[in-house]
Structure 1
């Protein structure tokens, strides 16, 4: 399939939302894998009312942009405070990407995926590489303090 053909089809733009506080090797791995599947991947630094990030949304945006390789030209980073599905509709993205490390993540993400589907957006669950399955932002934050 040519790049022209792929970019005109649904699924050419995916959104990878998260608080990314901090941004980990697991996040980088998910982005690296999905950027090869989609024409555009937007890493969406989102607000989650259940989480209390240490860094501000703007600080996380700057840090995340600095940590992505320059050659990843189809990856963009932005912030958003609303529903991820609303962002997807606004930006014509048809897929939300979510990383899954274990069975607990899977149960939670499956429920979110069902809600996203009802709102018209497909969710792609990306399993963590075995060597990264124990990496979490919560654990990384705990090590900092």
Structure 2
């Protein structure tokens, strides 16, 4: 598959932590688009377990150096505003379940009103059960042992 020439996609999330499912979505998106920005959303309401700079470093460390068309950035505010500022025309979002789709559909409708399209990539079945919430719970259990 050849990427859409000149395309820039943004894959936003809090990435607390950056899971194998997130990495898989980046791997798939990077072959669809010329460039992909993994956008670490800074949202204090979500009460992340690590500072944005730490989470961004962890994401950078998880992205292979060979993926030269992938960059990591941080942003406070609407993802659509970031996309407009950077000239991105697409937001990439992952779907694990029908419940995700209902929520994501609302976000996509809002972003479309702002001129940004959303593409949904389904999670691979073997990765769909792991959310950042589950990964955090597992990590805290392991650290307590």
TM-score by length of 1: 0.92
Runs of 5+ unmatched residues, structure 1: none
Report which of the two has the higher share of strand.
2
SS at match of 2:11: strand
Contact 2:2 2:31 in 1 (8 A): no
CA deviation vs aligned residue, 1:110-145 (integer Å, no higher than 9, x gap):
110000001110000110001111010000000111
Q: Does 1:51 align with 2:46?
A: yes
1:95-134 map, 5 Å: 95-134=90-129
| Cα pair 2:2 2:32 within 8 Å, conserved | no
Counterparts of 1:87 and 1:121, CA distance in 2: 10
Partner of 1:22: 17
Q: For each residue in 1:59-79, what CA deviation from the matched residue of structure 2 results, as whole angstroms up to 9, or x when unmatched?
A: 001111011111000000010
Once residues 2 and 109 of structure 2 are traced to their aligned partners in structure 1, the CA distance between those partners, rounded to angstroms, is: 32
1:76 paired with 2:71, answer: yes
Q: Structure 2 unaligned runs (5+)? A: 141-145
Q: Please, what TM-score do these two structures have when normalized by structure 2?
A: 0.92
1:143 aligns with 2:138: yes
